[in-house]
Structure 1
């Protein structure tokens, strides 16, 4: 079976989000076709990305000439030009691209992208702002929202759990969250078991409903 994570990706729009995405994909070994209508932007990235092209992707013939229909994955990273974002997404849908990711700058924009065929709509600024807000407002070391109701959080263990096997701590019964992994000081993350004993200096990953993990993360 082919590794889908290695399949090439076309990234359309090379602003801050699109260029960062294209560079990160490239660093991970994914082949990227990066496209923007601004020659200066394309030129600035030509030495850092393998395939950079200047083209107007609101023209379906330009997309065909670039070989975009041969890609199974595409990202529409166009920012403030909502009209172009919507048009390019609709053209990719018409070309029957298997998986389309599209950047939205507002809820209304996102709804339109979803309705015209984007399989995944992302809100980079909103998502990052929400993540940072969680980190700033509490003791969390990292925060990843898995869906509107659940999150995975990295945090130092509260004092009451230190030195006690997780079986005896009854974290799930008391706080309705699950300690899924632990990283000892200077070590790597490993899965927890009922016999795991936490120590000061450890870092743990906890999973649960957002309100529950927030309450747990703020334990002294």
Structure 2
């Protein structure tokens, strides 16, 4: 009895799984591609604008091609990439066509940029695995940062958030156990970073001083109230 033929995913090597195709080298796509390269991922940029090709030539591995054309994707070897990022956002038709082409060739992981909720719904319906909203996410994050003591802000899901912040005065000079932050404010101090010392996971005996940075987790609303403490 003949062995079943391997699927396209089974044929991919470990190197292919770490290879990422970035389509669209605008601000979002180019920043993403450069960062991926610093993380030692194999990256290939795809762009149809000659000016952007010239701007990034020699700085990134790239191909000049129109990814809305299925034949162009085939020619540049899109099937060989485990992950493809569609960084085209403002051109709705191009974004949808490219994403659809990637779905048709069986791309294992498709990340697509959206500029609106409606755009994102369309991308999901045609098969994008992950939809990101860079402008909205950045605006939301910065709003939280400028509104209080937060120095960094990561919202996970279902209202759960992790923040880096300066400690309110009322807990400075006390241990985590003494300050009773969890009981008073419903949030949890999960770590403390003292200048010149390594990060420390917090216990009840961990002392918090004015110059420290604290990592706190909890419900977004409760964290906002805690961060607003003087």
TM-score category by the smaller chain?
over 0.9
TM-superposed CA distance for 1:176, in Å, is 1.2
d(CA) in 2 for partners of 1:160, 1:145: 25
Q: How many residues align?
A: 218
Superposition CA RMSD, Å: 1.7
Per-residue CA deviation, residues 186-211 of structure 1 (Å, 9 max, x unaligned), is 33322111210111100001111100
Q: Which has the larger radius of gyration?
A: 2
d(CA) in 1 for partners of 2:92, 2:195: 47
TM-superposed CA distance for 1:3, in Å, is 7.5
TM-superposed CA distance for 1:5, in Å, is 11
Q: Which residue of 1 aligns with 2:168?
A: 158
Q: Among 27, 35, 55, which residue is 2:46 paired with?
A: 35
Q: Which residue of 2 aligns with 1:20?
A: 31
Following TM superposition, the consecutive aligned residue runs of length 4 or more in structure 1 with deviations greater than 6 angstroms are 2-6
d(CA) in 1 for partners of 2:15, 2:191: 27
Per-residue CA deviation, residues 3-52 of structure 1 (Å, 9 max, x unaligned), is 89980100001111101111111122111010011122112112111x20
TM-superposed CA distance for 1:168, in Å, is 2.5
Does the alignment pair 1:47 with 2:58? yes
Check conservation: 1:6, 1:30, Cα contact below 8 A: no
Q: Which ranges of structure 1 fall in alignment gaps of 5 or more residues?
A: none
TM-superposed CA distance for 1:151, in Å, is 1.2
Does the alignment pair 1:190 with 2:193? no
d(CA) in 1 for partners of 2:198, 2:131: 33
Does the alignment pair 1:114 with 2:95? no
Check conservation: 2:46, 2:65, Cα contact below 8 A: yes
Q: Secondary structure at the match of 1:141?
A: strand
Instruction: State the TM-score, normalized to the length of structure 1.
Output: 0.94
Check conservation: 2:37, 2:43, Cα contact below 8 A: yes
d(CA) in 2 for partners of 1:22, 1:212: 36
Q: Secondary structure at the match of 1:188?
A: coil
Q: Which ranges of structure 2 fall in alignment gaps of 5 or more residues?
A: 1-12
